Structure 1
Amino acid sequence: MTYLLFIIGLVLLIKGADFFVDGSSKIARGLQVPPLLVGLTIVAFGTSSPEATVSIIAALDGTAGVALGNVIGSNIFNITLVVGITALLNPLKVESETIRKEIPFTLLGSIVLLVVVADTFLQGFQADALTRSDGIILLLIFSIFLYYIFEVAKNSRGNTNDMEVRTEAPKWGKNILFTIGGLAAIIFGGELVVSSATEIAISFGMTETLVGLTIVAVGTSLPELITSITAALKKESDIALGNIVGSNIFNIFFVLGTASTISPLAFEGKLFVDLILMIILTFVLLVFSRTNYRVGKMEGLFLALVYIGYMIFIIIRN
C-alpha cells in the first residue's frame, strides 16, 4: 500500500505541475510576458513546486535529510540528466544574458548554501545546520532575484508587440482553474510522497538523505525533465534552459529558504560531497554554455553519464 501511495503522490505531483505550468504560462503569455521570463519564473516555479512542497512538508515532519537531499539531488539531476537528455535531443542555444547573469546567479546560490551550512568549519559550532536566520538570508537573496527578473520583464515589454499580434485571447476561466487545480494536486501529492518515501526508507534500512537524493529527487524533478524535453523538441531553447536554471535558483533560495525558516534543518556531513559536486557541475554548465553559446550533444552526453556515475556513487556510499 505504501508503494501505491508513493506512485499516486508522484502522479499527482507531475500532473499537478503540468496543469499549473500550462495554466499559468498561458495567463502569462496573455499578459504579454516574454518567453525567457516565462521560463525563469512561471515555468520554473511550477516545475519546482513539487520540490517546494516535499521539502516544506519534510521540514514540518522533522525529516531534514529528505528536505535537503531532495533539493541538492534535484539540482544535480537538473544540471546533468535534464540538460544532458535535452541537449542530446536538440542542442540548447544559450542567450548571452543567461550566461552572464542567470547561470552565475545559480552558481552564487550554490556557494552561498555551502557557506551558510558550514557552521562547524567556519563558526566553530558543534553541528552543521540550515538555521532560521540562514533561511531568511536565502529568502532575501531570492527577493533580489525576483526584482531582477521583473526588471527584465519591464524592459522587455516594449519588444513584445509582434507577440501580441500572434497571441490569441486566453481562456481566463479555464487557465485559472488549471492553475489552482494543479497547485492543489501538487500539495496533496507532496504529502503522500514524503510520508510514503520515509516509510520505504525505514523498511529498506536506507537513510532519509539517500531517499531524498535519489527516489524523491528524481520523482520531484520529472516535471523539469518533461517540460525541458517538450520545449527542446519545439525548439524553444530559451524556455528549456530558463526552466532548468530558474528551477535550481528557486530550489536553493525559495525552497530551502522557506523550509529552514519554518523549521531549522540539520545538515548531514556526507551531504557536503553532494553540495560541492553541485557547485562544480553548475560551473561546468557555465563553461559549456560559453562554448559557441550552446550546449551541444557531446556536452549533453557527458552530463548524462556524470549523473549515472553519481547515482552509482551515492548508492555504494549508503
Structure 2
Amino acid sequence: MIYILLLVGFALLIKGANYFVDGSSNIARLLRVPPILIGLTIVAFGTSSPEATVSIIAALEGTADVAVGNVVGSNIFNITLVVGMAAIFYPLKVGSETIRKEIPFTLLASVTLLVLMSDFALQGFSSNMITRGDGIILLLFLSIFMYYVIEIGLKSRKKASNEPIPANINWGKNIIITVLGLAAIIVGGNLVVENGTKIAYSLGMSETLVGLTIIAIGTSLPELVTSITAALKKESEIALGNIVGSNIFNILFVLGASSVISPLAVNDKVLTDVVFMIVLTVVLFVFSRTGFKIGKREGIVLVVVYLIYLVYIILRN
C-alpha cells in the first residue's frame, strides 16, 4: 500500500505542476509582469510549501535534524538536479537582474544561515542552534526580498501597460487552474514524503540522512517537476525563477518560521552540507554568466555533481 500511495503522489505532482505552470504563466501576462517574477514568488512559494509543511511539523515534533536537513538537502537538490535536468531538456535563459541581484541574494541567504548556525565555531557554545532570534533575522531578510520583488513588479507593469492580452486568457479560469495545480502539488508532495520516509526508516537510515535525502528529494519534487514542465513549455524564466525563489524561501521562510516556533539544534554534519550549498550557489552564478543561459553541458555537470554528493552522504552516514 505504501508503494501505491507513493505512485499516486508522483502522479499528482506531475499533473499539478502542468496546471500550475500554465495558470501562473498566464497570470503573469494578465498582471503584465515578467514570468521570472511569477517564478520568484507564486511558483516558488507554492513549490516550497511541502518543505514548509514538513519542516514546521518536524520542528513541532522536536526532530530538528529532519527540519534542517530537509531545507539544506532540498536546496542542494534544486541547484544541481533540478537546474541540471531542466537545462538538459531546454536551455535556461538567465536575465541580467537574476545574475546581478537574485542569485547573489540566494548566496547572501545561504552565508547568513551558515553564520547563524555556527555557534560552536564563532561563539564557543557547546552546540550549534538556530534560535528564535536567528529565525526572526531570517524572516526580516525575507521581507527585504519581498519588497524588492514587489518594487520590480510594479516597475515592469508600467513598461508593459500597452501590451495586448489574448482574449482567451482570463482571470477566473487561470486562478482556478493555478490553485488546483498547487493543491495537487502539495497533496502529492506530502504523499511522497510520508510514504518515502516510512520506506527509508524501514531500511535503517538515520534522521539526518533521511532529512538530506528522502525528505529533501520528496519535498523538492514539485520544484523538479514544475521546472522541467516549464522548460519543456519553453517558459525557462519561470523554471529558473522557481529554483532561485524556492531556495530563498526555503532558507528565509521555512527555517525562519520553523526556528521561531521551536529553536532547531543543528547536527555538525549539516554544516559541511551548508558550505557545499554555498559553493554550488557560486557555481550557479558562474554558469549563469556564460552567455546568459544554462545549457545542456552545464546541466549534465550539475546532475553528475548531485549523484556524487548523494553517494558521499550515504557513505558518510
Normalization by structure 2: what TM-score? 0.90
Q: Does 1:152 align with 2:152?
A: yes
1:133 is paired with a residue whose SS is helix
For residue 48 of structure 2, give the secondary structure of its aligned residue in structure 1: helix
Native 8 Å contact 2:81 2:302 kept in 1: yes
Report deviation, 1:300: 1.2
Does structure 1 residue 129 correspond to structure 2 residue 129? yes
Q: Distance in 2 between matches of 1:132 and 1:245?
A: 25
Aligned positions, number: 317
For 1:94 and 1:5, the matched residues in 2 are separated by 37
4+ residue segments displaced more than 6 Å? none
User: Which residue in 2 is equivalent to 1:296?
Assistant: 295
Distance 2:286 2:61 in 1: 39
Deviation at 1:4, TM superposition (A): 4.8
Structure 2 distance, partners of 1:58, 1:167, is 46
Shift of 1:18: 5.8
1:5-44 alignment, distance < 5 Å: 5=5, 8=8, 23=23, 26-44=26-44
SS at 1:270 equivalent: helix
Q: CA RMSD in A?
A: 2.4
| Cα distance in 2, alignment partners of residues 315 and 281 from structure 1 | 19
Query: Does residue 309 of the first structure (1) align with residue 315 of the second (2)?
Result: no
Alpha-carbon contact 2:50-2:219 (below 8 Å) kept: yes
* TM-superposition CA deviations, 1:15-44 (whole Å, max 9, x none): 566656655554454333321111111111
Alpha-carbon shift at residue 234 of structure 1 (Å) = 2.5
**Of 194-203 and 289-298, the range deviating more from structure 2:** 194-203
Structure 1 residue 192 displacement after superposition: 5.3
For structure 1, list consecutive stretches of 5 or more residues without a partner in the other structure.
Answer: none
- Identify which range, 217-226 or 18-27, moves more after superposition: 18-27
TM-score when normalising by structure 1? 0.90
- Counterparts of 1:168 and 1:114, CA distance in 2: 48
Q: Which runs of 5+ in 2 are unaligned?
A: none
Are 2:259 and 1:265 equivalent residues in the alignment? Answer: no
How big is each residue's C-alpha offset from its partner over 1:56-104, in whole Å with a ceiling of 9 and x where there is no partner?
1211122212111111111111111111112122222211111000000
Deviations 1:122-177 (A, max 9, x none): 111111111111111100000000000000011101122354433644242x5444
Partner letter of residue 241 of structure 1? Answer: L
Residue in 1 that maps onto 2:99: 99
2: CA distance, partners of 1:233 / 1:21: 11
- 3-state SS, counterpart of residue 166 of structure 1: coil
Which residue of 1 is the match for residue 117 of structure 2? 117
Tell which deviates more after alignment, 227-236 or 107-116.
Answer: 227-236
Change (3 A) 1:15 1:134: farther
For residues 268-317 of structure 1, the C-alpha deviation after alignment (integer angstroms, 9 at most, x for no partner) is 01111111100000001101111121212221111110001011111111
| Counterpart in the other structure of 1:59 | 59
Distance in 2 (alpha carbons) for counterparts of 1:239 and 1:300: 17
Confirm or deny that 1:238 pairs with 2:237.
yes
Q: Is the 1:17–1:50 Cα contact (8 Å) retained in structure 2?
A: no
Distance 1:71 1:255 in 2: 8
Question: Once the 2 structures are TM-superposed, how far is the Cα of residue 52 of structure 1 from its aligned partner?
Answer: 1.3
In structure 1, what is the Cα distance between the partners aligned to 2:40 and 2:84? Answer: 19
